[in-house]
Homo-oligomer: A and B are copies of this chain.
Amino acid sequence: MAVAAIPAPRQLESWVSFLRAHAAITRELSAQLQREHDLTLNDYEVLLHLSHAEDGRMRRVDLAERVVLTASGITRLLEGLERAGYVCKESCAADARVSYAALTDKGRKKLGSAAETHLRGVDELFVSRYSGSELTALAELLGRLPVTGADCKPESDTPCS
């Protein structure tokens, strides 16, 4: 019957904490970014990834994987960032299928100011609750988790060159 079952065994506690904490923190951080900079948390993450990428640009599909969105999700997200002038579309000479999202100067500047807000928030809600060694441990543990159905795929920076 499994009626009285629905077990909430000890091992699941961390899972539950994980769910709840994520929901609460990202909600707050997203609200902060929205209020102060009119950016989503995902918008911010996209700008951040672009800023770290070679030439400040990435293939849309790789970007999607980084922020764990679908192809269509990235299209719409970038739509907004393009409209705001933070990124622009570039095409690839070697492969007409791919188009890049490239960070503009305006976007880089925006990221700089949004980063202040965001880093403060992350620090307050996340980092400050742990010691240095705890953060290291946490990073190691969380790093084992899958990132897509096909698991981790940390580097895919061979676009079409």
CB <8 Å contact, B24 and A139: no
CB <8 Å contact, B21 and A142: yes
Find the B residue at minimum CB distance from A45: B19
Q: How many copies does the complex hold?
A: 2
* Cβ of A25 under 8 Å from chain B: yes
Contacts of A48 in B (CB 8 A): 6, 8
Also in contact, A145 and B21, with CB within 8 A (given A52-B6, A68-B27): yes
* Cβ of A98 under 8 Å from chain B: no
* Cβ of A62 under 8 Å from chain B: no
A sample of 7 inter-chain contacts (CB < 8 A) reads A10-B135, A17-B142, A19-B26, A21-B146, A22-B26, A23-B67, A129-B145
